Amino acid sequence: MMKLIDSHCHLYLDNFDLEQDALIREAKDSGIVALLMPNIDLSSAERMHELCDRYPDYAYPMMGLHPTSVAADYAATLRRIESFLNSRSYCAIGEIGIDLYWDKTYLKEQKIVFEEQLKWSIDLDLPVAIHTREAFPEVLDSIYKVGAERLSGVFHSFCGTAEELEEIKKLPRFKTGINGVITFKNAKLADVLRSGTDMQHILLETDAPYLAPVPYRGKRNTPIYIWKTAEKVAETFGLSVEETVEAATRNTAALFRLKKQGNSEVPFM
Ligand SMILES: [Zn+2]
């Protein structure tokens, strides 16, 4: 049976209340061996911890402040987010980044918050899950400012240009996170990936409940739909689904340093 990790989903959000256990059972039955969960802000942290505590060795939390949750009171919020890092373990700092699509009011604050969290990731030796929307140059600028050689992580939900993909590949310890967007009809993403990268650099994710792949586009996304994305990525690179899934799982387990399970040399395989 193929084994796959959903490297980015928000199964703790209230869209999933009451269905969490059923969805996790479904995910396990389909061959999904781990779910990585990025935090959003103070309002989501408790829900995320509660779910991850019920599924240790399956649901792995990240901790961070999402750029769209950055406001004037960012300093106090950031201190509270930071306090979580001392109280339990996380597989990454995330999700963090810069988002200028919805609102540019707090660009300066978003940059401060992003760079502070990048520094945490270096101090704690954790990878980062980066969210960037209409802000790729700004995000890149912060990465180089804080230390491109010392940072590792993933550009989650990548749907950028060939030039942006080229910039990510220059960062030695960064991967590209691909989700349902690659299945969208008008998306150029498959072409960008085919000509610009290979499976060594790719992680698979859902970003559930958002961005459900075709044929579920527009509906609530759930982890099992990751298989639709895996099929499309396999087709994009001319690989079998097995080869694609194996590479994605290997890349994800290595980046987030997920613990080995059983006797396998490679985690989750
Ligand atoms: Zn997300």
- pLDDT tens digits along 154-211: 999 999 999 999 999 999 999 999 999 999 987 799 999 999 999 999 999 999 999 9
Determine the Cα–Cα distance for residues 65 and 96; give it in Å rounded to an integer.
6
pLDDT for the residue numbered 186? 79
Q: Picking from 9-18, 90-99, 234-243, 254-263, which range would have the lowest pLDDT averaged per residue?
A: 254-263
Q: According to the model, what pLDDT value does residue 185 have?
A: 87
Centre of ligand 1 from the C-alpha of residue 12, in Å? 12
Query: Ligand 1: distance of its center to the CA of 129 in Å?
Result: 9
pLDDT tens digit string along 233-269?
A: 999 999 999 999 999 999 999 999 997 554 455 556 6
40 is written with which tokens? 């959003």
Cα-to-centroid distance, 137 and ligand 1 (Å)? 20
CA of 38 to the centre of ligand 1 (A): 6
**What does pLDDT average to over the chain?**
95
pLDDT at 61 over 70: yes
Q: How many angstroms does the Cα of residue 124 sit away from the middle of ligand 1?
A: 21
Strand boundaries in the chain, DSSP class E: 4-6, 32-37, 59-61, 93-99, 128-133, 153-155, 174-178, 202-204
At residue 263, the pLDDT reads 46
Residue 100 pLDDT > 80:
yes
| Closest C-alpha to 56, from 96, 80, 24 | 24
CA gap 265, 64 in Å, rounded: 30
Tens of pLDDT, residues 128-150: 999 999 999 999 999 999 999 99
Phi/psi for 34 (5° steps) reads: -165, 150
Q: Would you state the structure tokens that stand for residue 237, as one six-digit string?
A: 């690179």
Q: Over pLDDT 90: what percentage of the chain? A: 91
Nearest to 45 by CA among 73, 78, 71, 21: 78
Please give the distance, rounded to the nearest whole angstrom, from the Cα atom of residue 216 to the centre of ligand 1. 18
The DSSP code for 192 is H
- Quote the pLDDT of residue 14: 82
Q: Please give the distance, rounded to the nearest whole angstrom, from the Cα atom of residue 54 to the centre of ligand 1.
A: 21
At 17, the pLDDT band (50, 70, 90 cuts) reads confident
pLDDT given at position 18: 86
pTM over 0.85: yes
Ligand 1 center to 248 CA (angstroms): 18
Q: What share of the chain is helix, strand, coil (3-state, %, to 5)?
A: 45, 15, 40
Amino acid code (one letter) for 44: S
Residues, Cβ < 5 Å to ion ligand 1: 207
